[in-house]
């Protein structure tokens, strides 16, 4: 009985990790977009951003991104690389922006992963 519960927990955990990773842009593709001028967007709260952020990252909090992004980035063909603390909010931001016509919005994931890809963290 205990093995069954442990096995179910392990499968559930693996499923969460796989599904979370499925929405991320690959490091290789992200670096290629960066070389071509992609923008890095930090969707964390103002407090999180103030505590530390990537150089050149544009701060547009998730709860404001749908209204503020068009003012900063009117061209919906611009490549946007979104990140947050864990990758969850940036995934949500990606879905919101794609629904608004920003078809080149990608989830970089967590601040740590974004820092390894972009550099500076």
- 97 falls within a domain: yes
- 4 falls within a domain: no
- 108 falls within a domain: yes
Q: What percent of the chain has pLDDT over 90?
A: 78
pTM of the predicted model, to two decimals?
0.82
Catalytic residue among 24, 62, 84, 108: 84
Which residue, 42, 39, 26, is CA-closest to 93?
Answer: 42
- 36 falls within a domain: yes
- 8 falls within a domain: no
What are the tens digits of pLDDT across the range 51-63?
999 999 999 999 9
What are the tens digits of pLDDT across the range 82-110?
999 999 999 999 999 999 999 999 999 99
pLDDT given for residue 120 in this prediction? 59
> Which helix or strand (DSSP H or E) is residue 43 part of?
none
Q: Lowest-pLDDT range, 3-12, 40-49, 92-101?
A: 3-12
How many domains does the structure of the chain reveal?
Answer: 1
Q: Which domain holds residue 98?
A: 25-118
84: annotated active-site residue: yes
Q: What are the E-state strand segments in 37-96?
A: 39-42, 58-59, 80-84
Residue 111: which CATH number? 3.40.250.10
Residue 14 pLDDT > 70, yes or no? no
> Which helix or strand (DSSP H or E) is residue 106 part of?
strand 105-110
Q: Enter the tokens of residue 20.
A: 């979370």
Axis-axis angle for helices 111-118, 27-35 (nearest 10): 50
> Which helix or strand (DSSP H or E) is residue 110 part of?
strand 105-110
Which residue, 90, 89, 85, is CA-closest to 108?
Answer: 90
- 101 falls within a domain: yes
- 18 falls within a domain: no
3-state secondary structure of 67: helix
């Amino acid at each position: 009985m205990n093995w069954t519960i442990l096995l179910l927990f392990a499968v559930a955990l693996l499923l969460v990790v796989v599904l979370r990773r499925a929405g991320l842009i690959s490091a290789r593709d992200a670096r290629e977009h960066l070389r071509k001028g992609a923008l890095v967007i930090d969707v964390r709260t103002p407090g999180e951003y103030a505590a530390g952020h990537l150089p050149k990252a544009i701060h547009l909090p998730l709860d404001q991104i749908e209204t503020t992004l068009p003012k900063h980035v009117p061209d919906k063909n611009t490549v946007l690389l979104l990140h947050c603390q864990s990758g969850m909010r940036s995934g949500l931001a990606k879905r919101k922006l794609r629904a608004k016509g920003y078809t080149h919005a990608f989830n970089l994931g967590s601040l740590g992963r974004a820092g390894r890809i972009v550099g500076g963290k």
